[in-house]
Amino acid sequence: MFSKELYEDIKVSNDFNFFYQRKGLLMCYQTEKAGAEEWNTGQRAIKEGLKVENLTKEQVLTIEPNAGLNVNGAVYYHSDAHMTPNEFMSQMKVYLQNNGVSILNNEEVLEITVSNHKISEVKTNNLQIKSDEFVIASGAWSQKLMKKLNTKIPVQAGKGYRINVAQETGIKIPSILIEAKVAVTPMNGFTRFAGTMEVDKINNKVNPIRVNAIAKAAEKYYNGLKILQPDIDNAACGLRPCSPDGLPYIGRLSKIHNVTVATGHAMMGWSLGPATGKLVSEIISDKRTSLNLHPFFVERFS
């Protein structure tokens, strides 16, 4: 039933190895109600052309035998892939620098000067930068930066937490623990448990109550899993850039012609980054975009 090739590691190119694997995604459920809702979504995905199966508990344990999964079943999306983001980012930086890209660390954009419907200069704490084109991709901070251009784009920070567990968990296939709203990803040398959407002001405070809730919820889905206190203490948070309608902002501004905005990807920025990057390059190169950008119109709330 499960095609073998999905379980092989995929080497993307000779320049990178960031443990990209295509093992699909198990949407694991403990209650029949959650299972029925997820299968409803799965059937819609099948209509869109995706390969999705509704697995019994026994079938789930056949493909994920060593994790002690305690579920009633799972909806299995075959096409999902995962990787180890910190390995990707460090290699991507080296690749870009080797190909002529300058990365300026610790430079905060403080002022933006506009003249003749164009950004003429950007001032950071140390530099004054002129350029033909500017891309604003400043995540949860985008609203603040866009105010400097008199453009309203509502973006709120949706804080999420992750716990990295180095001990062997036996988990080989990424899963979402539906009722607990926890995402589980096997990465290179550790398993990541992530969750929570805490809409708040911008800060990097880690709330131990939320982190403990993720650990406790995960332990209920894997018999024998015990997330150790040092891993809980090392939990970190990140800020997802959330728009009111859940769609990103991608495109040019109507009144300032050399700016392209790419932000608001909320919980999906990692997955959607490559597609957004492609659209941004098409916009800047004056090419026809691969997608209709109307739903992502940057000034839709202005």
Ligand X SMILES: Cc1cc2nc3c(=O)[nH]c(=O)nc-3n(C[C@H](O)[C@H](O)[C@H](O)COP(=O)(O)OP(=O)(O)OC[C@H]3O[C@@H](n4cnc5c(N)ncnc54)[C@H](O)[C@@H]3O)c2cc1C
Residue whose CB is less far from ligand X, 63 or 122: 122
Q: Which of 199, 268, 290, 295 binds ligand X (CB under 6 A)?
A: 268
Q: Is 162 in the site for ligand X (CB under 6 A)?
A: yes
Does residue 263 touch ligand X according to CB under 6 A? Answer: yes
DSSP secondary structure of the chain: ---GGGGSB---BTTB-S--B---EEEEESSHHHHHHHHHHHHHHHHTT--EEEEEHHHHHHHSTTS-B--SEEEEETT--B--HHHHHHHHHHHHHHTT----TT--EEEEEEETTEEEEEEESS-EE--S-EEE--GGGHHHHHHTTT-----EEEEEEEEEE-S-----S-EEETTTTEEEEEETTEEEEEEEEEEESS-----HHHHHHHHHHHHHHBTT----HHHHHT-EEEEEEE-TTS--EEEE-SS-TTEEEEE--GGGHHHHHHHHHHHHHHHHTTPPPSS--GGG-TTTT-
Give the range of 25-33, 206-214, 253-261, 266-274 binding ligand X by CB under 6 A.
266-274
As measured in angstroms, the least distance from the Cβ of 195 to ligand X is 7
Q: CB 125 → ligand X: shortest distance, Å? A: 9
End-to-end CA distance of the chain: 51
Residues 175-214 that bind ligand X (CB under 6 A): 183, 194
- Residues in contact with ligand X, counted by CB under 6 A, come to a total of 25
Measured from the CB of residue 238, what is the shortest distance to ligand X in angstroms?
A: 3
Q: Which of 265, 279, 296, 298 binds ligand X (CB under 6 A)?
A: 265
- Enumerate residues 211-250 that contact ligand X by CB under 6 A: 238-241
Task: Single out the segment in contact with ligand X by CB under 6 A; choices: 66-74, 87-95, 113-121, 263-271.
Answer: 263-271
Among 18, 269, 296, 298, binds ligand X (CB under 6 A): 269
Considering the complex, state which of residue 71 and residue 136 has its C-beta at the smaller distance from ligand X.
136
Query: Which residue, 65 or 273, is less far from ligand X as judged by CB?
Result: 273
Nearest residue to ligand X by CB is 269
| CA–CA distance, 62 with 282 (Å, rounded to integer) | 44
Residue 142 or 169: the one with the smaller Cβ distance to ligand X is 142
d(CA 45, CA 57): 21
- Give the side-chain half-sphere CA count within 13 A for 180: 28
| Cα–Cα distance, 62 to 225 (Å, whole number) | 19
Residue number, 61 or 232, with CB nearest to ligand X: 232
Q: Which is nearer to ligand X, 224 or 270 (CB)?
A: 270
Binding mask 128-147 for ligand X (x = CB under 6 A): ---------xxxxx---x--
Per-residue interface string for the shown chain with ligand X, residues 270-289, x marking contact by CB under 6 A: xx------------------
Q: Which residues bind ligand X (CB under 6 A)?
A: 108-109, 137-141, 145, 160-162, 183, 194, 238-241, 263, 265-271
